[in-house]
Amino acid sequence: MDNSVSSQDSLVSVRNLSFSRGNQKIFDNISLDFQRGKITAIMGPSGTGKTTLLKLIGGQLFPDKGTITVDGQNVHNLRRTELYNLRKRLGMLFQSGALLTDMNVFDNVAFPLREHTHLPESMIRTLVLMKLQAVGLRGARKLMPNELSGGMSRRVALARAIALDPMMILYDEPFTGQDPISMGVLVHLIKSLNSTLGLTSIIVSHDVHDTSAIADYIYVLSGGKIVGEGTPKEIQESDSEWVQQFMTGAADGPVHFHYPAKDYVDDLMSSGKRY
Amino acid sequence: MIQFIQNLGRNTCISFNKLGRSTYFLLQTMSGMFSVLGRPRLLLNQMYSVGVLSFLIITISGLFVGMVLGLQGFYTLSDFGAEETLGVMVAASLVRELGPVVSALLFAGRAGSALTAEIGLMKATEQLSGMEMMAVDPIKRIITPRFLAGLISMPILAALFSAVGIIGGQMIGCGLLGVDEGAYWSQMQANIDFQDDIINGVIKSIVFGFVTSWIALFEGYDAIPTSEGVSRATTRTVVNSAFSILGLDFILTALMFGDN
Amino acid sequence: MQHTSTQDTLVGLFVASGIVGLFFLAMQVSNLTSFVDEDSYTVTARFDNSGGLKIKSPVSAAGVKVGKVSSIYLDPKTYQSVVQLSINSKFNTLPDDTTASIFTAGLLGEQYVNLEPGGSDVYLQKNGKIEITQSAIILEKVIGQFLFKSAEEKK
Ligand SMILES: Nc1ncnc2c1ncn2[C@@H]1O[C@H](COP(=O)(O)OP(=O)(O)O)[C@@H](O)[C@H]1O
Ligand SMILES: [Mg+2]
């Protein structure tokens, strides 16, 4: 692996990670580094295990082999309270937003503050309004999650993720299913949060264009392996077939369009079977 | 044949696995008790959705069951010229059996299924996972208050069911069919024992509340996080609760009322 | 989280109604009010046969409930049934020549102890004895005697 970027500078480092679900090998001995204060992107076709990687980093899943260190602590050796203390310093933005559906926007953003601090309600109000202002939804504080559009939900979730002023935010496919405008808003938000709050960000995405625009470093995952890594520029110029297929969106290449199956003609001719 | 034995073996393994997981879940839930008592607001909100919202269905059903008991009991007892014991019959049936059992069955249908669906959907929409990532234990924050609310609400609901039913029986028996009101109450008081009948009935309802809440919350927490998975979990809650309530009722009755 | 005070009020009413319900069951439906042990005194009666009498069977005088059976055991010497009656202290003027009989309420009903006060001026005391007793009527015995008699008459 390319460790020349000096790993003491990395906030998260993944070493020789292997993970499988049942018989399905999702990661096969991979190592990655996420630099402090930088935006690092993990890209790859859907189903490669990008979400799984974030859950491993957050300590929700356990690796079969290998270690994950976050800020010098081995995530999977921590005791429960230590893990929870670590998580308080991580913000995670779920693919769906994962807002609590029985609370309005204000209470959702206030949730981590109320759970983890003993601040007076007036202070909580100020903090929540500041966070909502940062994502442009101060006016939407009374809405319930089912009254929000997809883009708004993610922005509320983002406001909630930064409520405790974390050192790092993990974004799970923040751009998927967004219209160009809310996509632009999110890209801008992520970038400005990163620079103004001095955050470290990990973005999981398969959106080539927008991710390249904000990421400092990109890993391309496929089939449980890292098939390419580098700055957006290096990735774009990479001569790896895998990377090229992914970046240009070619239907067939090293990553097959078809799910593994027997020969097409044979399959059609073998009548009499139900499936 | 081999297939059958294999299936049997696999299903046994799955059942034991589920039993183990649900026991672990229960222990985790109970370990959160103290932190919930420190946050009465959480409990209060759940008392509303678990208890208050079941109030109407329980009291109305209790009234009707009591009225039917009054009617049926009167016709049976009047054949033996023993109408005065109508109060005893109505009260004993309600306090010992129907109060705890029927209100627990209604509770499983009304509150239990709602709990399973709620928790299952929270799981499906990653709310539980999200909470974990915010360093909030979803069992302590979400499950334990609901469990406690079920545990407290069930005896209240069962007592209301019995009380309203006894009044319903009196309305029909004394108001409509002419049983002497004094006899209705005094025979009842002479024959219903506080320790043996009332307290045992309350114990039953606490056991049923415990089991129903446990099943409902575990099925939700353990549901496959899809809409189909949640709907199946909801069905399982109602079916498994009903079986457990009736089975436990038999065991408890044998233990409590067996020796006299 | 809805912090509505209506909800809190409803929860309060719900719990209160539950307590009222339980109180109703305890006081109006069950015998909790009837007799508390300190307010009663025990007297003993010996029967040749106490039949289907049970602990907690009612004790009444002239049809009014005055107490309950607190224990029943067999005297190992006389082979009599010793029945202890717990009588409410309100009824402390029972004469010492009171008769205790075991009756059946209705044809198939529950058995109870009936007290028939005599004419003595001396009242029964705590741990006193009722000397005059009449055993339970055992239906099978009565029927048996009746059949036996009618068979003899026919001869
Ligand atoms: N709870 C689960 N149980 C079993 N398999 C799962 C589960 N979650 C995800 N997977 C499998 O793991 C693989 C990776 O999933 P995921 O990390 O969600 O992919 P991505 O986020 O890259 O689209 C997928 O093939 C998926 O089928
Ligand atoms: Mg994913």
DSSP string, B30-50: HHTHHHHHT-HHHHHHHIIII
Q: With bands split at pLDDT 50, 70 and 90, how would you rate the model's confidence at C34? A: low
Looking at the domain assignment, is residue B160 inside a domain? Answer: yes
At residue B170, does pLDDT exceed 70?
Answer: yes
Cα distances from B101 to residues B58, B62, B204, B234, B252, in angstroms, run 12, 11, 8, 20, 11
Query: Cα–Cα distance between A235 and B118 in angstroms, integer?
Result: 45
Q: Which two tokens stand for residue B196?
A: 């043996």
Work out the pLDDT band at A2, boundaries 50, 70, 90.
very low
Chain B residues closer than 8 Å to C19 by CB: 156
Is the per-residue pLDDT at B104 higher than 90?
A: yes
| Cβ of residue A21 lying under 6 Å from some atom of ligand 1 | yes
Alpha carbon B76 to its chain centroid, in Å, reads 30
**Ligand 1 neighbourhood includes A46 CB (under 6 angstroms):** yes
Q: Burial letters for A193-231: b for 16+ Cβ neighbours within 10 Å, e otherwise? A: bbeeeebbbbbbbbbbebbbebbebbbbbbbbebbbbbe
Q: How confident is the model at residue C107 (pLDDT cuts 50, 70, 90)?
A: low
With the most atoms of ligand 1 within 8 angstroms of its CB, the residue from A24, A172, A206 to mutate is A24
Q: Subunits with at least 3 CB pairs below 8 A relative to chain B?
A: A, C
Ligand 1 pocket member A47 (CB < 6 A) = yes
Structural tokens at position B15: 């059942």
pLDDT tens-digit readout, B196-254: 889 999 999 999 999 999 999 999 999 999 999 999 999 999 999 999 999 999 999 99
Polymer length in residues for chain A: 275
For residue A52, the ligand closest to its alpha carbon is 1
Tell me what pLDDT residue A4 has: 43
So what's the pLDDT on residue B169? 93
Q: How far is the CA of A49 from the centre of ligand 1 (A)?
A: 6
CB A74 within 8 A of CB A57: no
What distance in Å separates the CA atoms of residue A90 and residue A83, rounded to the nearest whole number? 11
**B54 occurs within a structural domain:** yes
Whole-Å CA distances, C58 to B172, C35, C54, C84, C86: 28, 12, 9, 12, 10
Lowest mean pLDDT among A135-144, B146-155, B228-237: A135-144
Ligand 1 mean position to A116 CA, how many Å? 31
Structural domain span for residue B189: 36-253
Q: Which residues of A touch C (CB under 8 A)?
A: 102-103, 107
What one-letter code names the amino acid at A251? A
Dihedral (Cα; C44, C48, C52, C54), 10-degree rounding:
20
pLDDT single digits (tens) A145-194: 999 888 888 889 989 998 888 889 999 888 877 778 878 888 888 888 88
DSSP state, residue A76: G
> What band does A135 get if pLDDT is binned at 50, 70 and 90?
confident
B82 to chain C: closest CA residue: C106
By the 8 A CB rule, do B128 and B122 touch? Answer: yes
In the sheet with A225-230, reading across from the earlier edge strand, the strands are A90-93, A168-172, A200-205, A39-43, A217-222, A225-230
Q: Under an 8 A CB cutoff, do C29 and B193 touch?
A: no
pLDDT band at A7 (very low <50, low <70, confident <90, very high): very low
- Within 10 A of B228 (CB to CB), how many other CB atoms are there? 9
Local structure of residue A145 (DSSP, 8 states): G
B154 touches chain C (CB under 8 A): no
Strands A65-70 and A39-43: unpaired
A51 lines ligand 1 (CB under 6 A): yes
Predicted pLDDT of residue A272: 66
Residue B177's Cβ-count burial label (10 Å; 0-12, 13-18, 19+) is: middle
Distance from CA of A178 to the nearest CA of B (A): 18
The answer to whether C45 and B201 are in contact (CB under 8 A) is no
CB A114 within 8 A of CB A124: yes
Considering only CB atoms, which chain A residues are within 8 Å of B122? 100-101
Estimate the crossing angle of helix A150-161 against helix A121-134, to 10 degrees: 130
Query: Which chain A residue has the Cα nearest residue B141?
Result: A115
Angle ∠(C38,C39,C44) on CA atoms, nearest 5: 90
What distance in angstroms lies between residue A47's CA and the mean position of ligand 1's atoms?
6
| B101 within a domain of the structure (yes/no) | yes
**Rounded Cα–Cα distance for residues C43 and C25 (Å):** 31
A227 close to A243: Cβ distance less than 8 angstroms = yes
Q: Of A43-52, C2-11, C124-133, give the lowest mean pLDDT range.
A: C2-11
Q: Which helix (H) or strand (E) holds A30?
A: strand A24-35
Mean pLDDT of C90-116: 82
Classify C99 as helix, strand or coil.
strand
> In the predicted model, is pLDDT for residue B182 greater than 90?
no
Residue C33 pLDDT more than 70? no
Q: Which of B51-65, C112-126, C130-144 has the lowest mean pLDDT?
A: C130-144
For residues A110-135, average pLDDT: 91
| B122 falls within a domain | yes
pLDDT greater than 70 at residue C2: no
Select, from the ranges B133-147, C63-77, C116-130, the one with the highest average predicted confidence (pLDDT).
Answer: B133-147
Q: What is the mean pLDDT of chain A?
A: 84
Predicted confidence (pLDDT) per residue in A227-252, tens digit = 888 888 887 777 777 777 776 766 66
User: Is the predicted pLDDT of residue B110 greater than 60, yes or no?
Assistant: yes
The mean pLDDT value for B124-133 works out to 91
Interface subset of C 1-60, CB within 8 angstroms of A:
1
Task: Identify the residue whose C-alpha is closest to ligand 1 atom 18.
Answer: A51
Q: Are C54 and C21 in contact (CB under 8 A)?
A: no
Residue A54 has pLDDT above 80, yes or no: yes
Q: What is the dihedral of CA A90, A92, A98, A100, to 10 degrees?
A: 20
Spatial distance between the Cα atoms of A91 and A70, rounded to a whole number of angstroms: 13
* Mean predicted confidence (pLDDT) in B61-86: 90
Position B194 scores a pLDDT of 85
| In chain C, where the domains are located | 1-30, 40-143
- Side-by-side strand order, sheet with C40-47: C129-130, C40-47, C81-88, C64-74, C58-61, C111-116, C99-104, C132-134
Own/partner pairs, B195-198, CB within 8 angstroms, 24+ separation: B196/B256, B196/B257, B196/B260, B197/B91, B197/B92, B197/B95, B197/B96, B197/C30, B198/B95, B198/C22, B198/C25, B198/C26, B198/C29, B198/C30, B198/C32
Ligand 1 midpoint to CA A48 (Å)? 7
Sign of CA dihedral C46, C51, C53, C55: positive
Report which of residues B179 and B230 the model is more confident about: B230
Exposed e or buried b per residue across A17-40, where buried means at least 16 C-beta atoms within 10 angstroms of its C-beta: bebeeeeeebbeebbbbbbeebbb
Domain total of chain B: 1
Report the separation in Å between the CA atom of A174 and the middle of ligand 2, taken as the mean of its atom positions: 10
Contacts 24+ apart (CB under 8 A), C14-17: C14/B47, C14/B51, C14/B52, C14/B55, C14/B153, C14/B156, C15/B47, C15/B51, C15/B152, C15/B156, C17/B55, C17/B156, C17/B160
Nearest protein CA to atom 6 of ligand 1, as residue: A21
> How high is the pLDDT of residue A8?
54
Give percent of chain C above pLDDT 70.
90
| Neighbouring residues of A70: CB distance < 8 A, sequence distance ≥ 6 | A11, A12, A57, A86, A90, A168
